[in-house]
């Protein structure tokens, strides 16, 4: 079954929801959101906005019960309610069992291992004290990466531990540690799948990180990797989506090391920051593709119209409060610059406040424009 005339519900009303709503508007497709406040980015673009906590059973159940298709823009949602809704006939994409695997980094790693996907070697610890004890006992090799199992996103639950002197940087809580990969490039591949099992893969992108905040600052499309690695990365993304057996989108973050070995870092079963450039640079945006996939419509072409660079517009490190934007007009004067602001009232250090996509047939020219944008746009309080 497929169709346009379905009521879509989305758990989460942030910027990903906003961009989904904009894509839905092209089809005059009703789209409703559940999140704490209608002042969040998706609010003004929603057909309906229900205020409530998507981590709680009751709001998710009641919201979902009035929808034909339910999807997410964040994986930390109440999956008990999703199981119940699915049992009662609501379409839930991605399926709740996959969400439960993905939202816990440890369970996700075990899934990757079990299905034979290459991922850095890992080991679990119940808390930081047991990890510190293992370090003292000399049974841990440096450097390693510590990751909290559930509370982390945008680099907040991740610490790179170089040696004994770094043990004071250990994060508190249940965690896993992972062997440190000497990363040559960080890649992301987004794949879509509908209920018929049709899949479509967006061209792999390269992600560049802000070292201080440990979150993606810039992406380059297409990734500067050879055709073999490209095919391998695309194939792995499709196989992962099939292993999770989900419909919608799956963003697969990968590491490529200097020996050209690919590792899966982590996955997200939803539109992703590493696909924002697709709005302008691909035949179909990731947001429209997500709608096509969850409505069981034919998937769109993922072909690239133009190389592109995307920069996240992050809150300035020392500023917290009502957001003010400096330098926007200078950037709008440049050809091929597409500005997206999420309308968040308050800025915080490194908060994602917007992004800019730059199209240029010459990727180096696009990089120079991206440098200019990063230097010129300042989001302050």
**Smallest distance from the beta carbon of 258 to ligand ADP, in angstroms?**
12
Q: Which residues pair with residue 363 across a beta bridge?
A: none
Residue where the block lists tokens 């009703």: 30
Residue where the block lists tokens 């499309």: 221
**Smallest distance from the beta carbon of 29 to ligand ADP, in angstroms?**
30
**Smallest distance from the beta carbon of 174 to ligand ADP, in angstroms?**
15
CA distances from 4 to 94, 180, 250 (A): 18, 46, 22
**Chain position whose Cβ is nearest to ligand ADP:** 181
Q: Which is nearer to ligand ADP, 147 or 218 (CB)?
A: 147
Q: Which is nearer to ligand ADP, 142 or 196 (CB)?
A: 142
**Smallest distance from the beta carbon of 59 to ligand ADP, in angstroms?**
25
**Smallest distance from the beta carbon of 207 to ligand ADP, in angstroms?**
7
Q: Which is nearer to ligand ADP, 33 or 117 (CB)?
A: 117
* Whole-number Å distance between alpha carbons of 200 and 320: 40
Find out whether the peptide bond into 143 is cis, omega within 30 degrees of 0. yes
CA distances from 64 to 11, 32, 44, 87, 271 (A): 9, 10, 20, 12, 20
Q: Which is nearer to ligand ADP, 183 or 363 (CB)?
A: 183
Q: Which of 75, 72, 97, 76 is nearest to 86 (CA)?
A: 97
Whether 310 and 338 have beta carbons less than 8 Å apart is answered as no
Q: Which is nearer to ligand ADP, 186 or 288 (CB)?
A: 186
Residue 332, helix vs strand vs coil = helix
Q: Which is nearer to ligand ADP, 150 or 167 (CB)?
A: 150
Length of the chain: 381
**Smallest distance from the beta carbon of 75 to ligand ADP, in angstroms?**
10
**Smallest distance from the beta carbon of 186 to ligand ADP, in angstroms?**
5
Handedness of CA 91, 190, 108, 163 (dihedral sign): negative
**Smallest distance from the beta carbon of 154 to ligand ADP, in angstroms?**
5
Residue 108, helix vs strand vs coil = helix
* 222 CB burial (10 A radius; 0-12, 13-18, 19+): middle
Whether 192 and 200 have beta carbons less than 8 Å apart is answered as yes
Please report how many Cα atoms fall inside a 13 Å half-sphere around the Cα of residue 147, on the Cβ side.
26
Q: Which is nearer to ligand ADP, 34 or 223 (CB)?
A: 223
Q: Which is nearer to ligand ADP, 264 or 291 (CB)?
A: 264
Whether 250 and 269 have beta carbons less than 8 Å apart is answered as yes
**Smallest distance from the beta carbon of 276 to ligand ADP, in angstroms?**
15
Which positions lie near ligand ADP, rule CB under 6 A?
120, 145, 147, 152-158, 178, 180-181, 183, 186, 209, 214, 253, 265-266
* 34 CB burial (10 A radius; 0-12, 13-18, 19+): buried
Residue 186, helix vs strand vs coil = strand
Q: Which is nearer to ligand ADP, 61 or 124 (CB)?
A: 124
**Smallest distance from the beta carbon of 109 to ligand ADP, in angstroms?**
10
Q: Which is nearer to ligand ADP, 51 or 266 (CB)?
A: 266
Residue where the block lists tokens 């179909």: 284
């Amino acid at each position: 079954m497929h169709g346009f005339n379905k009521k879509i519900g989305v758990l989460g009303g942030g910027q990903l929801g906003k961009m989904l709503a904009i894509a839905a508007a092209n089809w005059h497709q009703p789209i409703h959101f559940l999140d704490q406040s209608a002042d969040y980015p998706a609010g003004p673009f929603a057909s309906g906005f229900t205020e409530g906590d998507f981590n709680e059973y009751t709001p998710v159940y009641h919201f979902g019960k009035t929808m034909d298709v339910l999807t997410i823009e964040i994986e930390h949602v109440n999956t008990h309610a999703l199981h119940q809704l699915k049992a009662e006939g609501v379409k839930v994409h991605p399926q709740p069992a996959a969400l439960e695997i993905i939202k816990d980094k440890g369970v996700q790693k075990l899934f990757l291992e079990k299905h034979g996907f290459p991922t850095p070697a890992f080991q679990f610890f119940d808390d930081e004290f047991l990890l510190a004890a293992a370090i003292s006992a000399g049974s841990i090799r440096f450097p390693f990466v510590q990751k909290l199992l559930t509370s982390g996103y945008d680099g907040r639950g991740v610490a790179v531990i170089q040696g004994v002197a770094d043990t004071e940087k250990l994060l508190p809580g249940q965690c896993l540690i992972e062997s440190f990969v000497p990363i040559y490039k960080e890649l992301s591949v987004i794949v879509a799948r509908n209920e018929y099992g049709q899949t479509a893969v967006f061209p792999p992108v390269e992600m560049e990180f802000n070292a201080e905040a440990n979150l993606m600052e810039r992406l380059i499309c297409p990734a500067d990797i050879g055709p073999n690695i490209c095919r391998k990365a695309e194939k792995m993304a499709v196989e992962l989506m099939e292993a999770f057996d989900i419909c919608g989108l799956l963003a697969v973050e990968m590491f490529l090391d200097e020996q050209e070995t690919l590792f899966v870092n982590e996955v997200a079963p939803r539109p992703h920051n590493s696909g924002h450039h697709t709005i302008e640079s691909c035949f179909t945006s990731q947001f429209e593709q997500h709608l096509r996939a969850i409505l069981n419509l034919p998937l769109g072409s993922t072909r690239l119209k133009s190389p592109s660079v995307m920069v996240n517009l992050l809150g300035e490190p020392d500023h917290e409060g009502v957001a003010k934007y400096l330098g926007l007009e200078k950037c709008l004067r440049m050809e091929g610059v597409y500005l997206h602001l999420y309308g968040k009232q308050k800025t915080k250090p490194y908060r994602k406040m917007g992004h800019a996509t730059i199209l240029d047939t010459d990727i180096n020219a696009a990089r120079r424009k991206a440098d200019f944008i990063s230097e010129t746009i300042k989001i302050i309080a």
